[in-house]
Amino acid sequence: MPYHNKKIIVVMPAYNAGKTLMKTYNDLPHEMIDEVILVDDASRDDTVEVAKTLPVHVVVHKKNRGYGGNQKTCYKTALERGADIMVMVHPDHQYDPKFIPEMIKTMVDDGYWAVFGSRMINRSDALAGGMPRWKFFFNIVLTKIGNFFLGTNLTEFHSGFRAYDRRVFEQIDIEMNSDDFVFDTQIIIQLAARGIKIKEIPITTRYFPESSQIGLWPSIKYGSEILYNIFLYKTGLRKF
């Protein structure tokens, strides 16, 4: 049954998730969600074939658009299908869907428009879950920098486990955002620029061979893009 008459849609930005999609779907709290949307970003495996065996709405990109480009399609499709709340779940099974009910209740009961699952509220859990130490270190440093310049108080800027109220996308224009990984940080900047508060809840995570994660050099590029976008915002060179 819908929670407080809210239409809740899970969106899955998928790329080569054929091995983990079924497990992720089965772990969803189906009693609290109304629909699942999967957007396949031109996967090279059987992600689409697996998705079509499930009761999910499937959208397929003919060309790879990137992580941010995938999310744009996810949210646009969910809004078109009447979502009040959208929960992004990566179908690689790295984030545990058991936290979705808490995210939804925090949004609806406490009135937040954005709720993020944070691996870094309890930092020891991140390491215990297998987060590489270099990633753990850069996560902390980049988050501290982001908080300092944006006036936020987040424990993690880089979680991909997020829930948004549809009103977020009535306030911000995600089409102006990058199609790459920095898309997530640009949303944080856009929310901060409008004074929209983000609530975090503690989550656990899992690192294993089939889970998607970017390597060291792409992470350095990603970190540089984060710093560059914060610079653009603080100097007024780009309006967020």
The pLDDT tens digits of the residues spanning 170-195 come to: 999 999 999 999 999 999 999 999 99
**Pick among 3.40.50.2300, 3.90.550.10, 2.60.40.10, 3.90.600.10: CATH of 8-235:** 3.90.550.10
Q: How far apart are CA 104 and CA 214, in angstroms?
A: 28
Distance of CA 140 to the CA centre of its chain: 18
pTM: 0.93
CA atoms within 13 A on the CB side of 235: 8
Instruction: Give all strands of the β-sheet with 85-88 in edge-to-edge order.
Output: 57-60, 35-40, 8-14, 85-88, 162-165, 114-118, 198-202
Q: Using an 8 Å Cβ cutoff, are 36 and 12 in contact? A: yes
Report domain extents, the chain. 8-235
The pLDDT tens digits of the residues spanning 24-64 come to: 999 999 999 999 999 999 999 999 999 999 999 999 999 99
